[in-house]
Structure 1
Amino acid sequence: MDSIKGQGGIQMLLTAEQEAQHIVSSARNLKIGGLKQAKEEAEKEVALYRSKLDTQYQKNLSETGGSSGAKRLEEETEMRIKNLKESASRVSPDIVEMVIKYVRTVKT
């Protein structure tokens, strides 16, 4: 009789183990499904945010005139270069005179 009880107990343990495996498997599948859903939602949010930023960038670009900003910067740079060249040509004779005077002066 004890052997029959022992076999029945073993069978109960095997059945309980199978049920536990099913429960764990179901929980794992739910977890994987939840992670996939969260990933898909995050990808949608990223795409929406990227689209929003791109739209805002295009709007800002059209408002500022796009390449006109670069053109304006180039014009300002050319103007500054011209001013520096003019300033250099005005003071150049004075600088040459100072250098010649310094070279001619002998220190003893």
Structure 2
Amino acid sequence: MDAMRGQGGIQMLLRAEQEAQKIITDARNLKMTKLKQAKDEAERDSAAYRSALEQEYQRKISKNTGSSGSNIKRLDEETELKIKRLKDATKQVHDEVIGMLIKQVITIKT
């Protein structure tokens, strides 16, 4: 009878070992699944953050480019206005300068 009881105890231990192995395997599989989910979620978050930064960068680039374009236009207008003022000032003193030049050329120093 002890032999039967010993045989039954061994069988019980084997079943318990198999059950423990199944629990460990299931836990490992669950751990791997959760790690993969966490990795996928982190990659999605990273991609979303990268995309948001890229959009912000592009917005700043377009804002600066737009303002530099308006600065160029403003500077061109200011330059044209200054050139016009210089031409007007030149016209006003043109005859006087010509007269001074002619006087200097024909005056003989002795």
For 2:85 and 2:101, the matched residues in 1 are separated by 26
Give the number of the structure whose alpha-carbon radius of gyration is greater: 2
Q: What residue is the counterpart of 1:92 in the other structure?
A: none
The unaligned stretches of length 5 or more in structure 1 are: 86-108
TM score, norm. by length of structure 1: 0.66
C-alpha RMSD over aligned residues? 1.6
| 3-state DSSP of counterpart to 1:29 | helix
| Map 1:2-41 → 2, pairs under 5 A | 2-41=31-70
Instruction: Please give the secondary structure, in 2, of the residue aligned with 1:62.
Output: helix
Mind listing any 5+ residue stretches in structure 2 that lack a counterpart?
A: 1-29
Alignment of 1:1-108 (within 5 A): 1-64=30-93, 66=94, 68-80=95-107, 82=108, 84-85=109-110
Size of the aligned set, in residue pairs, is 81
The Cα shift of 1:14 comes to: 0.6
How far apart, CA to CA, are the structure 2 residues paired with 1:74 and 1:4? 96
Identity of aligned residues (%): 5
